[in-house]
Chains A and B, each alone.
Chain A
Amino acid sequence: MSLPERRTDIGPPHYKDFLPPVIQKNYGDWKYHEILSPGVMVHVANSGDKIWSVRVASPRLLSTDTIRDMAAIAEKYCGGYIRFTTRNNVEFLVSDEKNLEPLQKELKDKKYMMGGIGNRISNIVHTQGWVHCHSAATDASGLVKVLMDEFADYFTTKETPNKVRMAVACCVNMCGAVHCSDIAVVAVHRKVPTIDHEKVKNMCEVPSTIAACPTGAISPEPSKKSVKINADKCMYCGNCFTVCPPIEIHDPEFDGVAIVVGGKVGNLRSNPKFSKLAIPFIKNDPPRWPEVTAAVKKILDAYIADAKKHERVGEWIERIGWEKFFKVTGLPFTFQHIDDFLIARETFRTSATFKW
């Protein structure tokens, strides 16, 4: 079987070849946009031309069958033009208004979930999890599925005070944007890793393993040509496992997830913020993690009930104060919430002003 001739270092094709003609014509010359429904928005150019975007949810992990179906729909109503959003949703790009209704009807008939535009829960950015990653301490796709099932109404119809950006990361590597999300789930370990010294000797580089530790807990163990871990210093991050696989961090019994809240990346109103710890640990409970969905719902409900219009989760919490956040959500405040990593002192309160 002969293969076509390979080419190297050509880079991706030029984006212009993938833009609908109405976008090519009005590129950089858009005047405004309007959200017509939770799944439809229209962008209007200075020329008066319009393009409609119809957004549907995607699990991100897609089979070729589903992609072909999306391609066929795009061919039928969109001249073949389709795009994906930075949060992994799918957008059908409609240039001819008369295709808008039939497209939505077909999407509905085929059980695609339209929505996610505006002040809603869009999709959940996430990582590979048990599907395809060596360092996963939970499954990301499963958590996304159960959370989005729980909050489906906030994708398709209901509104939130502002956008709620969620993320799931299957370990603290955080290939998903957990560290700056409104509400996010991150898998954590809680026990000092075990070391298979025989294998370390053959598979690992001692200096890079020592350097991988953020707390300086790893030191050489010359007698075994290996390393040892100071249990008092280890914060179970698992970075040593990443550089040296015989240092086993996974522990099905003690691994689980933490929930962090209040992060954002946009600059609107207030500066970008990191997410902060709300719940230090919930056990892994596949396939549907009921405690995780209940905990996220508790936080989301408190936000919806109390936030002002346009306030993101982090802005709401900063207005009411973190002490009040723990009060209104009823979440326990524990030693795990008080920072003892590198820049801990920046988070200690240095004023006499706080709420009861």
Chain B
Amino acid sequence: MFLQQLINGIALGSTYALIALGYTMVYGIITLINFAHGEIFMVGAFVGLLLVSFFKLNIFVAMVLSMCFCMVLGVVIELIAYRRLRRSSRLSALISAIGVSIFLSSLALMVFGADAKGFPEGAFPLHQLHIGNADISTLQLTIIGVAALLMLGLEFIVQKTKIGKAMRATSEDYAAAALMGINVNRVISFTFALGSALAAAGGVLVGLLYNAVSFNMGLMAGLKAFAAAVLGGIGSIPGAMLGGVLLGVTEIFGVAIGYSSYRDAIAFAILVLVLLFKPTGLLGQKIQKKV
């Protein structure tokens, strides 16, 4: 029972972590809470669904293509909705983000209608495995595996590649990075691309997990992932991974001990508690005012 719930929790939590990474990376670099991020996750799920249902593509191929599509979407959103506002007050960009979010979910409502769509049968080869007395599906293991793989890939990019190092430099000191010859705009675009790709992968995985893709799925998932990013320490990449998994596990155990009607409340209760008692989150650092 414990093992069963733990696996359930980690699988759910890894999808939160995938979305939370996008929030945290964008915040780290331009201190914007990108409220449209949840909708990128939703678009990612729809693109994956379309590719599987209409073009009969393999689910993993569809996921990769959906990630590519959302990379472009994320970059375009930044270009249109945030770039010009970068020097205005942070509130303006935040309002613009909420606008993009409403635009994308309304667009999805118009195009796909209000009811949730499922993946066609056999889109994912589903089997149940029995480990001890736990029933674990191959889908859950795939979610955990894909999420872990993507996060390792992200860690590699951020720690080892030139553009990844430039991302870290820019998030520490925007002006100093520009003075070193780093094209800050390009680094910001790259950050949006990375975050959006991860959200798209999360969208396809969540669509499979619940076998439901709908126009409003980005709202709750986005808010919970945001809570996960704050729990881990906004701006911190390992923090987002940890926060996502912790949040997923807490939520599942909350449901398991009988608080299933408080399921969504759990995430936000954690958000409030973190903000009250440890605003920097588990792995976040005090933000030092740059002089």
**Is chain B a partner of chain A in the same complex?**
no
Residues of A within 8 A of B (CB): none
Residues of B within 8 A of A (CB): none
